[in-house]
Amino acid sequence: MYFLGIEFSGSEKDIHMCQRKYALELVSGLGLSGAKTAFTPLDFNHKLTSVEYDEAAKKTEDCKDPLLENRGSYQRIMGRYLYLTMTRPDLAFMVQVLSQYMHAPKQSHTDAALRVERYIKGSSGLGLFMPVGGKLSLTAFCDSDWVSCAETRKSVTGYLVKLDNALISWK
């Protein structure tokens, strides 16, 4: 059964929610159906920067990372990714990072977004599992990365909350 583009399938033990059809339409819409898949949405230690940061750090002379002429296409991709995060918490952090550059996207931001797309291609069936019945236990996890933002030197914190084995909240 589909509702708002989300596929619901269930059994007596659990309910699975995913956006497989939407994810595959997103991949084919960008022309990446034949592209290799990526195992992670972001390269290890990949830092993205804004134009303002590049100017302040004097990286503009030898930096070959131009601004996109048509930022609307980047913004549309980010909007589609935001909708996909409803059932894909594994994408939430990367989409949050990429959406910070929607006002002035550079080529490196588009390259990172296409890597996310290749990751989505390889993991299109992922979604949320909601167990039926069982004992209810609330579990929360938190993690932070101290001074991880190259521009502001701020820390990044994330959390997730599970009710039994079902994910109910994340950031």
Is residue 161 in a domain? no
Q: What is the pLDDT of residue 97?
A: 87
Taking the complete model, does pTM exceed 0.75, yes or no?
yes
The confidence band for 78, taking pLDDT boundaries of 50, 70 and 90, is very high
How many domains are there within the chain? 1
Look at residue 8 and tell me if it is in a domain: yes
More confident position, 134 or 7: 7
More confident residue, 99 or 130: 99
pLDDT digits (tens, 9 = 90+) for 26-75: 888 888 888 888 898 888 777 888 888 877 777 655 567 888 888 899 99
Show the domain range for 47.
Answer: 2-134
Residue 13 lies in a domain: yes
Task: Give pLDDT tens digits for 103-139.
Answer: 999 999 999 999 999 999 998 888 888 777 767 788 8
Could you tell me if residue 77 is inside a domain? yes
Residue 125 lies in a domain: yes
CA distance 88 to 81: 9
**Residue 171 within any structural domain of the chain:** no
Per-residue burial over 29-48, b if 16 or more Cβ lie within 10 Å, else e, is ebebeeeeebeebbeeeeeb
Q: Is residue 68 part of a domain?
A: yes
Residue 109 lies in a domain: yes
Per-residue pLDDT, 76: 92
